[in-house]
Amino acid sequence: MLQHQRSDLNGPDLLELLRLDENGFKKRFKNSPLLRTKRKGVLRNVCVALGNVGDEKALADLDRARSDPEPLIAEHATWAIKRIRERTREQTNAISLRQEP
């Protein structure tokens, strides 16, 4: 299997993947099994991963993805935004509680 290994797919930048349109996706994953998963499946997973990571830096890209013509991507981008905001609120509340006398 090492003969088919692609170093450009190691540790992908999730935000970069989220920005791919259909043509960019096909070009990036040409000759890759991810092409069979299709853009909507990969970007759905990217949205879930970003939501679980909880980094607010992803919010702008996720907000753009909410307007994606593919409903599966738009729905998962909305979920990820909600999840990130919830985690941010939880962290803020936890910090506030620790600071109370």
Q: What is the CATH number of the domain that holds 31?
A: 1.25.10.10
Mean predicted lDDT score pLDDT of the chain: 87
User: How confident is residue 91, by pLDDT bands cut at 50, 70 and 90?
Assistant: confident
- What's the CA gap between 33 and 16, in Å, rounded? 19
Look at residue 91 and tell me if it is in a domain. yes
- What's the CA gap between 101 and 92, in Å, rounded? 16
Place of tokens 């909305």: 78
User: How confident is residue 90, by pLDDT bands cut at 50, 70 and 90?
Assistant: confident
Look at residue 20 and tell me if it is in a domain. yes
Would you say residue 47 has pLDDT above 70? yes
In the chain, how many domains are there? 1
Where in the sequence is the domain holding 74, given as residue range(s)?
14-99
More confident residue, 32 or 40: 40
Would you say residue 1 has pLDDT above 50? no
Look at residue 7 and tell me if it is in a domain. no
Look at residue 58 and tell me if it is in a domain. yes
Look at residue 6 and tell me if it is in a domain. no
Look at residue 24 and tell me if it is in a domain. yes
